Amino acid sequence: MSGFFSPFITKPVSVSQIMLHVLLALIPGIALYVWFFGPAILVSLTLASITALGVEALMLKIQNKQIAPTLKDNTALLTAWLLALSIPPLAPWWLVVVGTAFAISISKHLYGGLGNNPFNPAMIGYAVLIISFPVHMTHWLTPHGLGDVSLSFLEQLNYIFQGVLPDGIKLDAITMATPLDTLKTQLHLNGHVQEILDMPIYGRLAGQGSEWVAAGFLLGGVYLIAQRIISWHIPLAYLGTLFAVAGLFHLIDPAHYVTPVFHLFSGAAMLGAFFILTDPVTSPTTPRGRLIFAASAALLTYLIRAFGGFPDGMAFATLLMNICVPLIDAYTQPKVFGKKKGQS
């Protein structure tokens, strides 16, 4: 007997299936990442995954909750992957571990576990890392063919775990600032957008290589929408608003504001639009609410990117908007059957 009450039949896609789809959808982006920046990212993904599962199990154990069903739901894995994708692949191993552990234990479990965390755990982890270890968070890998030297996988591992670089190679030679970061610095040095974009690290749309990774995430996101795992509201509103705002500034002053397309394809915009903002637990549930939420997040992202102190605003925009979710939900409740306008 299936429980005692109707409905006696269910045909759910389980939480773990949903999360699995999301993980799958990340794969094109990750593959392109490996292609352009080498396999170091796989190391941090693995590290983050192991840490996430371990910490999740530990937290469940401490709270005397059933471990198996929650561990199998893949949500911890997703958090781990999103976090790993937001930090530099060459970051020391403990950075990944600390970030993930913080994300799972503090920002997920201390708030009540799955379904109860007001903030996106991965973004909390990211925020903690970028505030506590700002230097380590800037060691982004140079895409293949750009730097003077490149490390073999073994040498990368050696650096990640022991902090040792091969003789004669300086850290600066293999890492660089992100395209957004460079843009910001250069603009501060009174560069002209056009000149800056002629620098070798920029590709056709945005950063060399990273533009392709963003395209990979876009592909995965479209897959998620097609599979009806996420609704179109958040990605569309986010990307649309970002495009519109960036476009406006670009039109006004092309010398100081890059093209909207550049914004869409750099930083965490694509990843955020499809994978981070759409985290169901920390986003609004009403369609109207989702539009407001994503549009505001895009606005914040742009403001932080263009005028704030951090090169990318995705994480902070997400966290700021997470706070507003209950409010947005409360004020955007849709009218119910038979109680719409024009009805009695």
Q: State whether the Cα torsion 126-130-133-137 is positive or negative.
A: positive
* Short-list 125, 37, 34, CA closest to 78: 125
Nearer to other proteins, 190 or 344 (CB): 344
339 binds other proteins (CB under 8 A): yes
Cβ 66 to other proteins shortest distance, Å: 5
Q: Does residue 286 interact with other proteins by CB under 8 A?
A: yes
Shortest Å, Cβ 318 to other proteins:
16
Report residue 133 as tokens: 């270890």
Taking the C-alpha atoms of residue 98 and residue 45, their distance in angstroms, rounded to an integer, is 13
Query: What is the rounded CA–CA span in Å between residue 174 and residue 38?
Result: 12
> Residues of 213-246 as b/e, b for ≥16 C-beta within 10 angstroms?
bbbbbbbbbebbbeeebbebbbbbbbbbbbbebb
Mark 95-114 with x for binding to other proteins (rule: CB under 8 A) and - for no binding: ------------------xx
Q: 331 by DSSP, 3-state: which?
A: helix
Query: Considering only residues 7, 168, 189, 309, which one is a binding residue for other proteins as defined by CB under 8 A?
Result: 7
Instruction: Answer yes or no whether residue 170 interacts with other proteins by CB under 8 A.
Output: no
344 binds other proteins (CB under 8 A): yes
Count other C-beta atoms under 10 Å from residue 64's C-beta.
7
227 binds other proteins (CB under 8 A): no
Binding of other proteins at residue 329 (CB under 8 A)? yes
Nearer to other proteins, 65 or 144 (CB): 65
Q: Does 231 bind other proteins (CB under 8 A)?
A: yes
- Contact range with other proteins by CB under 8 A, out of 69-77, 153-161, 251-259, 300-308: 69-77
